[in-house]
Structure 1
Amino acid sequence: MSQEINGIIVIDKPKDMTSHDVVAILRKRLKTKKIGHTGTLDPMATGVLPICIGRATKIVDFLLENVKGYHCEMCLGSATDTQDRWGVVTHQVADPNFQIDKESVVEVVESFIGEIDQVPPMYSALKINGAKLVDLARKGIVVEREARRRTIYKIENIVVRQHTIEFDVACSKGTYIRTLCHDIGLTLGCYGHMTELRRTMSDPFKLERAVPIDLIDLDMISTHLVSIEDALSFMEQIVLPDSIKYHKLIQNGVKIQLDSFKDEIQLKNAKKFYRIYVGLTFYGIAENTDKGLFMKKLL
């Protein structure tokens, strides 16, 4: 009988493969039903795609909330219906040899750093009234979408080559880099669309840790598997007294109120979630509420 797999594999997703395709391939290859990804990458995009396996599927929602990083390339001069080069051109500048100075481009790109409002693109998996926007778009139906507040933490390494711009961006979950490129083009007054996208980070996982999907099978999985504890290293930890009482209560799945330990633990910045230890043993995630700290996920 094969050993149960629990942990995270960071896949370097290839182009022309959906996130669902990656999950389906690994489900078959690793012979497991408990598997899921932590944030969709468009088929044309490449890079960091964390895949949770076994008990690690319990922490998908926590990983989804983290900062994402991308290396992006965009083209000025035209806009498309999908906001990337795989769509149909909808708007184009009259003069294909238009000039725009690099200083203006850099200034506009950097102006998007901070909180921004994004209107989700029609060609996206977002659902409105139960229907996927992309399905409506393919039928020629355009519906009104409300702008959503997103955060661009930083944009750096901006390179401008005539009508092409490259940059690295770190952003909050749910940010559409295609839409960012589209909006940059509109602000510059010359239209724009994304031409390449590579995810370089899905915190805490960086591209250096990503593995090509072809290298993952049952024999090699242990080499690349990240433990649940390591995957949650971005959370602050709380260590409870190493007593039999707390070991047993947590092992039995009892929801424990930890309010009496607040003062001695001194919670920093009143975070919402914490890693919980009894002595040196990692048990899971606790939630900080008005009534104290309660076990949220027993891992």
Structure 2
Amino acid sequence: MKHGFVIVNKSAGLTSHDCVGKLRRIFHQKRIGHSGTLDPNVTGVLPLALGQATKLIELLVDSGKIYEGDICLGYSTTTEDVWGEIVERCPLVLGQIKDEKIDQALKSLTGEIEQIPPMYSAVKVKGKRLYEYARAGEEVERPRRHVVIEDFLRLSKSSYDAEKKCLTFSFRVSCSKGTYVRTLATQVGELLGLPAHLSRLCRLKSGGFSLEESHSIASIEENPEAYFIPLQVYIEKNFKSLDIPFEFQKLACNGAPLPNFAHISDSFPRAVYVEGKLIGLYTLSSEEEKTLRPFKMFDWRQMV
């Protein structure tokens, strides 16, 4: 069994689960999961974890994301993106909305903001996904969430479509987990007093991995080993190591706290090793106790 990561550059039309299924066939193993769902028509970085690396999916999901895409002003849709049915139109004339006004709207959406997830989303309410209610024509109260937008910038001059009487511009956004970029597009429209939707989206960074590090399913299928990142390599790159004495081996292998580490005071979680074997990631319980507690444990016997 493989233990590590493969970074997929997801193409439009594939679900995140489709990518998992394809890698299961390529690597001939079942234990594979993805970090951070991408909508079928969204492209870009989709980290997939294999074997014991699936234990780190939570860390990857918690990391910030970077996206690039296009926002269209002039009409809104049921799904808040270009693939939904049009629900409102407000035909624009050339020059009606200045780029400076768009920039002000984007700037006002930075920092901590509140969002209401779209009806066509996988958020659960009373045991059902919101998209199930939407498909049944039912409207339910949606939970509000707070997300953090670090940067939200316009990348291009706005282009006017005379036939559709709408305005489109490109953007880049750096945001926290849980951010609905589709909803950000509609929020921009609300600030400008216009219906709006997301017309294109590509994820540039997720889980610490960039678009340059990602590869198509076709390329991975052709040479799986070339695009596989072993768990050990990922751990060495992202975490400081701590070799503990052999006397702690039994405690560590049983996932027990490790006492008397007063000399360790920074960079947590730490990758803990016993005689060169990766045991797990540990955190510091408190500055007073100086005890290391297990955060994510690995079975080194499976990785031999």
Same fold (TM over 0.5): yes
Is the 1:77–1:190 Cα contact (8 Å) retained in structure 2?
Answer: yes
Q: After superposing the two structures, state which structure 1 stretch, 162-171 or 5-14, moved more.
A: 162-171
Structure 1 residues 223 and 153 mapped into 2: Cα distance closer, same or farther (>3 Å)?
Answer: same
2:162 maps to none
1:170 maps to 174
1:245 maps to 247
| Count of residues in Structure 1 that have an aligned counterpart in Structure 2 | 288
SS in 2 for 1:100: coil
Q: Aligned equivalents of 1:94 and 1:201: distance in 2? A: 35
5 Å-filtered alignment, 1:47-62, equals: 47-62=44-59
Q: Aligned equivalents of 1:29 and 1:129: distance in 2? A: 37
Does structure 1 residue 44 correspond to structure 2 residue 41? yes
Does structure 1 residue 188 correspond to structure 2 residue 192? yes
2:15 maps to 18
Q: After superposing the two structures, state which structure 1 stretch, 60-69 or 87-96, moved more.
A: 87-96
Q: Aligned equivalents of 1:51 and 1:255: distance in 2? A: 26
Amino acid at match of 1:246: F
Out of 2, 7, 25, the residue aligned to residue 5 of structure 1 is 2
Measure how far apart 1:56 and its partner are.
1.0
Measure how far apart 1:236 and its partner are.
4.5
Measure how far apart 1:234 and its partner are.
7.6
Q: Aligned equivalents of 2:89 and 2:147: distance in 1? A: 27
If the length of structure 2 is used for normalisation, what is the TM-score? Answer: 0.88
1:286 maps to 282
Is the 1:235–1:274 Cα contact (8 Å) retained in structure 2?
Answer: no
Is the 2:243–2:276 Cα contact (8 Å) retained in structure 1?
Answer: no
Does structure 1 residue 155 correspond to structure 2 residue 152? yes
Out of 208, 216, 227, the residue aligned to residue 212 of structure 1 is 216
Measure how far apart 1:279 and its partner are.
6.8
1:275 maps to 271
Cα deviation 1:120-174 (Å, max 9, x = unaligned)? 1100011111101011101111111121000111123532313112111111111
Is the 1:204–1:234 Cα contact (8 Å) retained in structure 2?
Answer: no
Structure 1 unaligned spans of 5+: none
What fraction of aligned residue pairs are identical, expressed as a percent?
Answer: 34
2:122 maps to 125
Hey, which bits of structure 1, 4+ residues long, moved more than 4 A?
94-98, 232-236, 278-281
Measure how far apart 1:283 and its partner are.
2.6
Structure 2 unaligned spans of 5+: 160-166, 299-304
Measure how far apart 1:286 and its partner are.
1.5
Structure 1 residues 158 and 95 mapped into 2: Cα distance closer, same or farther (>3 Å)?
Answer: closer
If the length of structure 1 is used for normalisation, what is the TM-score? Answer: 0.89
5 Å-filtered alignment, 1:69-80, equals: 69-80=66-77
In angstroms, what is the RMSD of aligned CA positions? 2.1
2:228 maps to 225
